[in-house]
């Protein structure tokens, strides 16, 4: 099984090299993100405009080696490939946050077939040109966060009627859990599922050392949404 997974990874690497010259330059990433944000009526975030706790919650949940890899998580990809081969399915993708960003921005949301290899090549290019904080800012600006809603700033306003900077740990953890299944975890429509997902995010943050168990326990007592307050967002 492991030998088959290694061969599969070798084929992937060869494909990425071939696609390097075939995929577009990523110098226009910021322009493309701004265009998508405009279409989706979401706010373009800049580095420093989102709470560090939100980034940590997202990384712990979606891409635990985000700050170590260079666009492709080889360890995660190998684990996903081994799992898929063992279970004879395409169950796990091993996609990083950077790959999710370029899939949305450059590939129309597709990562099937040749697009999967193009996704990896583009992710490597993005990591060479942009900082991790810029990648996170772009990702948080355009990701789906509910029924027809995009961007973490919009989610903060819809669910808590406050800007991102005013949210606490439990609220940020809830938002960080949305990207996996934004409609299913929408706290306005599915509060029970949203709370359960929040628990998973908090547990991941504890596991990665971002917060303590006592901080996670305190955050579990918070309501999944908040009433509107004067001034709003």
The pLDDT score that the predictor gives to residue 90 is 45
Domain finish residue from 101, 130, 159 = 130
Domain final residue pick, 130, 160, 182: 130
Structure confidence at residue 8 (pLDDT): 60
Residues 1 and 99 in one domain: yes
Q: Give the pLDDT score at 6.
A: 58
Q: Which residues of the chain have pLDDT under 50?
A: 83-85, 87-92
User: Mean pLDDT score of the chain, rounded to an integer?
Assistant: 88
CB contact set of 158 (below 8 Å; sequence gap of 6+): 145, 146, 149, 188
Per-residue model confidence (pLDDT) at position 23 = 85
On whether both 31 and 119 belong to a single domain, the answer is yes
* Contact between residue 159 and residue 175 where contact means Cβ atoms under 8 Å apart: yes
Q: What's the domain count of the chain?
A: 2
pLDDT number for residue 151: 97
- Judge whether 58 lies within some domain: no
Q: Which residues contact 103 (CB under 8 A, 6 or more apart)?
A: 95, 109, 110, 111, 115, 119
Mark whether 2 and 101 lie in a shared domain.
yes
pLDDT at 80: 54
User: What pLDDT is stored for residue 205 in this prediction?
Assistant: 98
189: domain range?
143-233
Would the pTM of this model clear 0.75, i.e. be above it?
yes
Q: What is the pLDDT of residue 88?
A: 45
* The pLDDT value given to residue 110: 87
Q: What is the domain-level CATH number for residue 218?
A: 1.10.3810.10
């Amino acid at each position: 099984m492991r030998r088959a997974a290694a061969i599969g990874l070798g084929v992937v690497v060869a494909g990425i090299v071939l696609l390097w010259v075939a995929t577009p330059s990523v110098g226009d990433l910021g322009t493309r993100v701004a265009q998508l944000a405009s279409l989706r009526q979401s706010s373009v975030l800049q580095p420093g405009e989102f709470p560090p706790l939100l980034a940590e919650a997202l990384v712990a949940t979606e891409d635990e080696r985000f700050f170590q890899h260079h666009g492709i998580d080889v360890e995660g990809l190998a684990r996903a490939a081994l799992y898929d081969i063992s279970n004879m399915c395409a169950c796990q993708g091993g996609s990083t946050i950077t790959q999710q960003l370029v899939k949305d921005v450059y590939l129309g949301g597709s990562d099937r077939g040749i697009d999967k290899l193009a996704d990896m090549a583009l992710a490597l290019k993005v990591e060479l040109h942009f900082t991790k904080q810029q990648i996170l800012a772009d990702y948080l600006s355009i990701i789906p966060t509910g029924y027809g809603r995009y961007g973490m700033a919009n989610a903060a306003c819809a669910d808590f009627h406050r800007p991102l900077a005013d949210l606490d740990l439990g609220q940020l953890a809830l938002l960080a859990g949305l990207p996996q299944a934004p409609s299913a975890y929408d706290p306005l429509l599915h509060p029970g599922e949203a709370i359960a997902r929040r628990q998973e995010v908090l547990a991941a943050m504890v596991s990665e050392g971002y917060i303590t168990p006592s901080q996670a326990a305190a955050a579990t007592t918070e309501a999944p949404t908040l009433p509107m307050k004067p001034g709003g967002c």
